[in-house]
Amino acid sequence: MKRDLLTVFDLSSDEIGSLLKRSIDLKSGIDAGKCPLIGKSIGLFFEKPSTRTRVSFEVGVYQLGAQPIYMSAKDLQLGRGETIADTARTLSRYVHGMAMRVFKQTTVEEFARHATIPVINGLSDLHHPCQALADLMTVLERKGRLEGIRIAFIGDGNNVANSLIEAAALTGMDFVIASPDGYGPNVSITDHARKIGKGRITATNDLKEAVSGADVLYTDVWVSMGQESEAEEKAARFSSYQINAELMKLAKPDAIVLHCLPAIRGKEITDEVMDGPQSAIFDQAENRMHTEKAVLEFLVR
């Protein structure tokens, strides 16, 4: 039976552990030259432009021995009115898996319902499971464990925050998000994660409360793609929600800093922190490729 990765909750705690172990092995080069997906093709459907998601998937697919096939909305008959369902049924006859970077979660869900191949959510408005797996890998590399690690997420309760909330619930991390009133994480996702009970999930608008004793400080852009009309309002509301040297002093002395990129330097994070010794941001970016390779191995058989 085919499996999809549409949200982090499509995985179990044990499966996350196995995927992270495999990701670390892949990064080490232990299987360099092996091509477990040789002869297969992976479709890459993108409604949004991308740097990390596109390149990490294309290179990762190639390194696994498969053929990546990039498709934008204008490259397919979707632009002329063909349904998502018909597109999914058709592409399932050509490729062995699909990674999708889309505006709406409902798009990737509908595609997965009608596809007979594994579907991977490379980003939607509600979830970013591939990013969360890379984040977990980076924390595991730097801290040696996940359970009990305190992550302070500073900023918008967006798709990345939602996926990290699910990841915390499954791995036993302590996740706290600090956002202005009205910009917290998705309530239904947060409530569901809290019911699992393995990780502690907290939402606040108090920066000091969030960062105090944190092992990891994490931020993202204040305005996601598709939200440009909100840019001015968000800039005003989020102006104090910045990771800077003063905020770092409230975290543990060995805290690391993460950002899923792209960063608007001088807004949500300062150059001093982003380029400083506690930054793991570019290791985190690299780890997108390794975790995606592990997911592709796991799903595409």
The residues that are catalytic are: 101, 128, 131, 220, 260, 288
Alpha carbon distance 68, 137 (integer Å): 24
- Rounded to a whole number of angstroms, the distance between the first and last alpha carbons of the chain is 11
**What does DSSP say about strands 41-46 and 97-101: parallel, antiparallel, or unpaired?**
parallel
Length of the chain: 301
Alpha carbon distance 197, 128 (integer Å): 21
Plot region of 27 (φ>0 → left; ψ -120 to 50 → alpha; else → beta): alpha
Alpha carbon distance 51, 49 (integer Å): 7
Alpha carbon distance 110, 45 (integer Å): 14
In which residue are the tokens 């305005």 written?
Answer: 223
Torsion of CA 92, 95, 97, 102, to 10 degrees: -80
* CB contact burial 203-234 (16+ within 10 A = b; e otherwise): beeebeebbeebbbbbbbbbbbeeeeeeeeeb
Which is nearest to 5 in space by CA: 242, 216, 263, 298? 298
